[in-house]
Amino acid sequence: MDGLDGPSHPGAVPFAESGAVGDPDDLQRLWTPHRLVYVADHHQPERSDCPFCAAPGRSDEDALIVARGETAYALLNLFPYNSGHLLVNPYRHISTYDEATPEEVAEIGALTQNAMRVLKRVMGCDGFNIGMNQGAVAGAGIAAHLHQHIVPRWAADANFFPIIAKTKALPELLGDVREKVAAAWEDPGQPG
Cα 155 to Cα 43: distance, rounded to the nearest angstrom: 38
Residue 136 to residues 48, 51, 53, 150: CA-CA distances in angstroms? 19, 16, 18, 19
The whole-angstrom separation of Cα 93 and Cα 104 is 12
Count of Cβ atoms closer than 10 Å to residue 128 Cβ:
19
For residue 137, what are the CA distances in angstroms to 18, 38, 39, 95, 141? 33, 11, 9, 13, 10
SS3 171: coil
Query: Is 147 a residue of the active site?
Result: yes
Q: Which of 85, 145, 147, 149 is catalytic?
A: 147
Catalytic residue positions?
147
